[in-house]
Amino acid sequence: MSRKAQLISAIEATAAARAKAEQRVANLLAKEDELNRQVRELDAIEALDVGSQVLVKVGRGETRAEVIGTIRAVKPGESRTEEDGSVIVSDRLFKVEVSRSGDEFDAEFVVVPESQVGVVTADAFPAE
């Protein structure tokens, strides 16, 4: 193999390696963005308190629906120590007022753990 052919082969191998590295960097950046989004969502959930609006799922089976509700009460999470010394902390519980029909007369209360609520964002309310 001539010296020129060796150099061309090395250039092609380097270009292929660079393309793989760029793909790995793109994947890592996408993963970093997703992790940052999750941190922001957890920060928002930790800030929830009485009067906050949240997304909750109510009903079962075919009647299950995701509705926007208002937190009316918060029960703090509890911690307990297991026999092996590990500490288990439970989620806060939210009592949420929801109305599947949108009519305040049909409002009901559901109790949901902190891990089962979603934060209401501006895109949940489309502009008119």
pLDDT tens column, 29-75? 999 999 999 888 888 888 888 888 888 888 788 888 888 888 999 98
Query: 0.75 exceeded by the pTM?
Result: no
Rg (CA), the chain: 25
Instruction: For residues 52 and 43, give the distance between their C-alpha atoms in angstroms, rounded to a whole number.
Output: 14
Instruction: For residues 100 and 57, give the distance between their C-alpha atoms in angstroms, rounded to a whole number.
Output: 10
- CA-nearest of 53, 54, 51 to 72 is 51
Question: ∠ CA(112), CA(43), CA(98), 5° rounding?
Answer: 30
Mean pLDDT value of segment 2-15: 94
| Phi, then psi, of 13 in degrees rounded to 5 | -65, -40
CATH class assigned to 49-123: mainly beta
Please give the distance of CA 79 from its chain centroid, rounded to a whole number.
Answer: 23
Secondary element (H or E) of residue 98: strand 93-98
